[in-house]
Amino acid sequence: MTLNAERVSRTAGGRLILDGVDLSPRTGATTGLLGPNGSGKSTLLRLLAGVLAPTSGLVSLDGSPLDRLGRRDVARRVAVVEQQTDTQVELTVRDVVRLGRIPHRRAWTPASAADEAAVAAALERTGLTGQAGRLWHTLSGGERQRVQIARALAQEPRELLLDEPTNHLDIQHQLDVLALVAALPVTSVVALHDLNLAAMYCDHLVVLAEGRVVARGEPTEVLTTDLVAKVYRVDAEITPTGPAGRPHVRFLGTLPG
């Protein structure tokens, strides 16, 4: 059991952003969320995180409606990594990772040994143990994203939601971040722009267009010339030549219309 969205819709400013979307990510797997800008990927992630409430439909965690669980209880289970984050506070890598313990801590009590152990484990899992003392504003974009993933892991989540975590990263760091996410023993949902990265690292893909699910399944089933033409208005050639026989998308040009 994990997060589950049933026929969720969301309107904003009179516009329908999400229109009756179902999503039930497989436990422990990495689900990729694809679709052009404005297709509702970010909104769906915010609904799954419980930060935003659906206009209609239901998001549940292990069968309980999200709005009936406390914010803190949700944050102990579900962690979020945003697209791009910044702060003006002078924080070290360890300070940022420690933020992940906030939902687990009570007021007036200092961090427990369990808190510190979770922070240490998250730093190690992301290969940041040696960098724990570095200051946030000296980090590169890829390093910052890695630190945010470490912060999310310090929450000890069973579900991890990532909104375009590879935006603004160079190609090495894009691969690096996604390989890290795919290897984590959590249920993750990742919004992505890059179809090839999605094909390489996701177990399951869900494609949104104008707020509706237009395709879902394994990368080989989902990524077809037809789908890319229909959803992105782009002509593409798709061959099973990616790593481990996964689909590889070669773009040929935009389509009229």
Partner 1 sequence: MTSASRTAAAQASVSGIRASRRAPLVWAAAGIVALCASVAVAVTIGPADIGVADVWSVIAAHLGVGTGAEGVSPIRDGIVWDLRLPRTLLAAVCGAGLAVCGAVLQSLLRNPLADPFVLGVSSGASTGAVLVVVLGVGGGALSVPGGAFIGAVCSFALVMLLSHSLGGTTDRVVLAGVAAMQLFSALTSFVVMTAADAETTRGVLFWLLGSLGGAGWGDVRTGTAVLVLVLAVCLAHARTLDAFAFGQDAAAALGVRVARTRLVLLCATALLTAALVASAGAIGFVGLVLPHAVRALTGPGHARLLPVCALAGAVFLVWVDTLARTVLAPQEVPVGVVTSLIGVPAFVLVLYRTRRAR
* C-alpha 66: how far from chain center: 18
Q: Determine which residue in the list 110, 185, 245, 256 makes contact with partner 1, applying CB under 8 A.
A: 110
CB of 117 or CB of 255, closer to partner 1: 117
Q: Determine which residue in the list 100, 211, 219, 247 makes contact with partner 1, applying CB under 8 A.
A: 100
Binding positions for partner 1, 21-50, rule CB under 8 A: 49
The single-letter code of the amino acid at 195 is L
Beta-carbon neighbour count of residue 161 at 10 Å? 28
175 lies in the site for partner 1, by CB under 8 A: no
Q: Which helix (H) or strand (E) holds 204?
A: strand 204-209
Beta-carbon neighbour count of residue 241 at 10 Å? 10
Q: Determine which residue in the list 108, 239, 244, 253 makes contact with partner 1, applying CB under 8 A.
A: 108
139 lies in the site for partner 1, by CB under 8 A: no
82 lies in the site for partner 1, by CB under 8 A: yes
61 lies in the site for partner 1, by CB under 8 A: no
Q: Determine which residue in the list 124, 176, 218, 235 makes contact with partner 1, applying CB under 8 A.
A: 124
CB of 110 or CB of 253, closer to partner 1: 110
**Is 188 in contact with 30 (CB distance < 8 Å)?**
yes
160 lies in the site for partner 1, by CB under 8 A: no
**Is 167 in contact with 81 (CB distance < 8 Å)?**
no
116 lies in the site for partner 1, by CB under 8 A: yes
CB of 7 or CB of 71, closer to partner 1: 71
Strand ranges inside 35-146, DSSP E:
56-61, 64-65, 78-81
- Answer left, alpha or beta for residue 127, where phi above 0 means left and psi between -120 and 50 means alpha: left
